[in-house]
Structure 1
Amino acid sequence: MKTAFQYRPKFVDIRVRPPKPEEAAQAEDVHALKPGERPCDHADCRLAATARAPKSRDLMGEHYWFCQAHAAEYNRNWNFFAGMTEGEIRARQTDDQTTGGRPTWAFRAGAGTREAAAARGGFTDPLGIFHAAQARHTQDKAAYDRRLGKLERGALADLDLDVNADAPTIRARYTELLKRCHPDTNGGDRSAEHKLQRVVKAYKTLQKAKLV
């Protein structure tokens, strides 16, 4: 009588190579970026950027890169005409219809025109309307020269700074606002906690933009 069949496996010990430290760290971090991916430009976001959005109406050729969720949030809050008066909006729309938004050059004003009279001091602005418009124009030009978009402008505004603020000024104001708003340094007053969150987020945004 033949003996009963006995199964004999070829391998009795299967050894698995342990992962390298960097591989183990990446396996634990589900938000780790893959090679070639870029991070979302939104503060505190670690997801990969998959969509782009223009920085501002003056920088349509430059873009932020966001993940899908933050791209949707940015688009909901996007307003091309934000900060413009009704007259400026109408002028922009007329310009787009007539010139397609391309730059044009005006002829030199004659000696008897209103522009020439204003240059000689013959025009007054008692309500400060044109002065305010000129101030906004100056701010917009400064922001354009520094290539600042909507996020950077908003972050500087949350720190109570203008668009010309440099890195040392930003750091100094951030430290000042932290002391003023944090309960541990203002005697336990928690009324400024919302402002504190905006300040911290603004500073992180400026760090991502490499302005500090």
Structure 2
Amino acid sequence: MKLDSKYFDKIRVKRGEERVTRDKHPPCEWPGCPKPGRHKAPKGRNQEGQFHSFCLEHVQQYNKTYNYFDGMKDDAVRDFQKEAQTGHRPTWKLGQNSSSMNAQGRRAKPGSFRDPFNFLGENGKEVNTGTARPLRNAELKALHTLGLDETATKEKARAQYKTLVKRLHPDANNGSRANEDTLKAVIQAYDYLRSTGFC
């Protein structure tokens, strides 16, 4: 293939790729090695985020002997591995009062708990504001199916359910099944309210 072109002779060629990459990397940190240190290797425990720069041959040699737990006793290694399961964050047994722990995982002093919105009141007990949780749309729809509004109580919903079942049941209508769909809707609505804890 012959490259005869008036443009070919004017093309500038960049420095060789090999030379550019060699300039970007520091020299290998292995004693007496003149090669570029293209490969990172961790420095070790208590030096997280710090790395040695080695050439390929020496990084392989370093990795064969690297031990993060070098110098630690077996019990300390087991404790470290156990704490690593929770990211070295404080934990407590189920049922213990986690709110009495401070950010360092130590027990907070009595009376040091902050309650900026006074949820616990003056004497430290929970304040009942008298407002129930807001109803979900599906709960409101179920109450409407029973002929009730959002102000209905559990007792009112139960009483209304019993009244509607007695009124709509085929036995109360000489065996007529005309109200069967309405009765099914009432039963489903009440079952839903029971499943959410409303009734």
- TM-score (structure 2 length as normaliser): 0.33
| Structure showing the higher helix proportion among its residues | 1
Instruction: Return the structure number with greater relative CO, CA threshold 8 A, min gap 6.
Output: 1
Query: Under a length normalisation based on structure 1, what TM-score does the superposition of the two structures give?
Result: 0.31
